[in-house]
Amino acid sequence: MQPNLTIETTDTESDVEQKLVFPLLSERLGLGIPAEFIRTKPFNRPYDIGKGTRKRPAFIPDYVVWARSLPALIVEAKSPKIEAADAYEEAQLYAHALNSRFATGINPAAFVIGTNGLEILIGN
Per-residue pLDDT of 25-42, as tens digits, reads 999 999 999 999 999 999
- Judged by DSSP in three states, 43 sits in helix
Q: Which residues pair with 115 in a beta bridge?
A: 77, 120
Read off the pLDDT band of 50 (50, 70, 90).
Answer: confident
pTM above 0.85, yes or no: yes
Q: Is the dihedral of CA 1, 21, 38, 42 positive or negative?
A: negative
- Tell whether the model's pLDDT for residue 6 goes beyond 60: no
pLDDT, tens only, 53-101: 888 899 999 999 999 999 999 999 999 999 999 999 999 999 999 999 9
Dihedrals phi, psi of 16, to nearest 5 degrees: -60, -45
